[in-house]
Amino acid sequence: MSTYAAAGREVADDGGETVRPRSKLLRIATAGSVDDGKSTLIGRLLHDSKAILEDQLEHVARTSERRGDGYLNLALLTDGLRAEREQGITIDVAYRYFQTGSAAGVGADNGGGSHVRHGRKFIIADTPGHEQYTRNMVTGASTADLSVVLVDARKGVSEQTRRHAYIASLLRIPHLVVAVNKMDLVDYSEVAFEAIVDELSAWASRLSIPDITFIPISALNGDNVVERSLQMHWYDGPPLLYHLEHVVIASDRNLADVRFPVQWVIRPMTDEHHDYRGYAGQVAGGVLRPGDEVVVLPSGRRTRITAVDSYDGELAAAYPTMSVTLRLEDELDVSRGDMIVGADEGPALARELEATVCWMSESPLRPGARYTIKHTTKSARVIVEELDYRVDVNTLAHDHAAGELALNEIGNVRLRASSALVVDPYASNRTTGSFILIDESTNDTVAAGMIRSGH
């Protein structure tokens, strides 16, 4: 069985290194209460890492002056919609892309030297802070490797802080960074920072968060964002960008259980590729190699992989989240919605699902309702058999008397599907353990779900 070393490199069975270097792409979701400074933080990251163009900076400077801000308002780099600017809030999920190059960080580390930075690519999902936009946060954070939750140092831990930490835990985002912002407004007080660390750590101990990091920052002034702060000598950790550049995410993928949802069957039927039959999709788990024995579900037929094809040619191996085409040894009846799995790694073939859902529709979820379920590449119909409970995301209490889920509410449900789905618990595989529900009458996505169990 292949494993990953600490640096994120795949180690082959023979002890040599194979195809995968440490991932250079980090997907980040930011969250926080209104006015906690998410937009300013993202703007500071873009500005201080030299990731914005000169004309963009000039536009922000002119707009800041016209508004009478009195300073370079970096939040304007992310609040792109006019309506958002007028209201002073960010409403929808905005995705930002930037990358950094290798550089030496300014500021001493514990040993008095410099933090050496390494380049990385980033996709940031800037999610809204209002409670009524919980569904937007779930959408933006669903593919994140790391979540940054901002806390106002003056206000401390709020209901929204707990809500966002709970959702990060629910979505099983592997890494959580709590950025305690506006430290300049509490005189860079270590006592104020430690009080927030203690309170949130105690509350988060009830959640499944494998890695939580606290960093004191001032997004407005740039303290501990890209460079080490000279105002907080008591803090001996790295600045935020250094942490983001170095966090290891390769080990967070499920590399043990082979999961390959078939998205498309490729039959070119050309003179050059007359007999070619391949099964295209994105690897959802495990490592696939030519010669490996696999099982096609739901049929249960066994075969072997003869080749792993990519746009650039045949590969020695494929791993999450590569998009490849598999060629199989035997001519089997394989179609879209089937799943190719490891020979001895049988996932559940389930029609009965227990799942946690975040409800995203104005019309409430009620037992007896029927929807279309979209799970990996397969669609089926489901009926809501039971609403087990509704979650109070601030207290984590379960309301077993709840009769429905309203917009932005989260609860545990039992579903029955019209055909068997190849599922894993969301805790073991975020791809094969997740789904969406679609209202057939409107074609609207009404829920995002995380599978707890299936049979």
Among 342, 364, 398, which residue terminates a domain?
Answer: 342
Residue 12 placed within a domain = no
- Pair 221, 258 in one domain: no
Angle between helices 159-170 and 190-204 (to 10 degrees): 50
Q: Find where tokens 């292949």 sit.
A: 2
Among 201, 218, 247, which residue terminates a domain?
Answer: 247
Q: Are 449 and 436 in contact (CB under 8 A)?
A: yes
- Pair 337, 196 in one domain: no
- Pair 64, 136 in one domain: yes
Residue 16 placed within a domain = no
Helix then strand then coil, in percent of the chain rounded to 5, is 20, 35, 45
Q: Which domain holds residue 153?
A: 23-247
Residue type at 51 in one-letter notation: A
Q: Are 7 and 22 in contact (CB under 8 A)?
A: yes
Q: Are 36 and 185 in contact (CB under 8 A)?
A: no
- Pair 154, 287 in one domain: no
What secondary structure letter does DSSP report for 84?
A: H
Residue type at 411 in one-letter notation: G
- Pair 281, 419 in one domain: no
CATH of the domain at 266: 2.40.30.10
- Pair 365, 333 in one domain: no
- Pair 399, 436 in one domain: yes
| Rounded-to-integer distance, Cα 235 and Cα 224, Å | 9
Greatest pairwise CA separation for the chain in angstroms: 74
**Alpha carbon of 112 to those of 109, 118, 147, 207: distances in Å?**
5, 19, 29, 36
Please tell me the pTM assigned to this model: 0.78
The percent of residues above 90 in pLDDT, for the chain, comes to: 51
Q: What pLDDT, on a 0 to 100 scale, did the predictor assign at position 335? A: 94
- Based on the number of CB atoms within 10 Å of its own CB, is 244 exposed (0-12), middle (13-18) or buried (19 or more)? buried
Among 215, 247, 279, which residue terminates a domain?
Answer: 247
Residue 202 placed within a domain = yes
Q: What pLDDT, on a 0 to 100 scale, did the predictor assign at position 426? A: 92
- Pair 261, 336 in one domain: yes
- Pair 285, 432 in one domain: no
Q: What are phi and psi of 445, to 5 degrees?
A: -75, 120
Q: What are phi and psi of 289, to 5 degrees?
A: -135, 150
- Count of domains forming the chain: 3
| Rounded-to-integer distance, Cα 75 and Cα 73, Å | 5
Give the DSSP letter string of 184-253: GGGTT-HHHHHHHHHHHHHHHTTS--SEEEEEE-BTTTTBTTTB--SS-TT--S--HHHHHHH---GGGS
SS3 of residue 107 by DSSP: strand
Residue 10 placed within a domain = no
- Pair 99, 156 in one domain: yes
Residues of the chain with pLDDT under 70: 1-23, 34-35, 49-57, 59-61, 64-65, 69-94, 102-118, 128-136, 250-252, 269-273
Residue 407 placed within a domain = yes
Residue 13 placed within a domain = no
Residue 17 placed within a domain = no
| Angle ∠(416,419,423) on CA atoms, nearest 5 | 75
Q: What pLDDT, on a 0 to 100 scale, did the predictor assign at position 32? A: 77
- Pair 282, 312 in one domain: yes
Beta bridge pairs of residue 387: 413
- Pair 154, 60 in one domain: yes
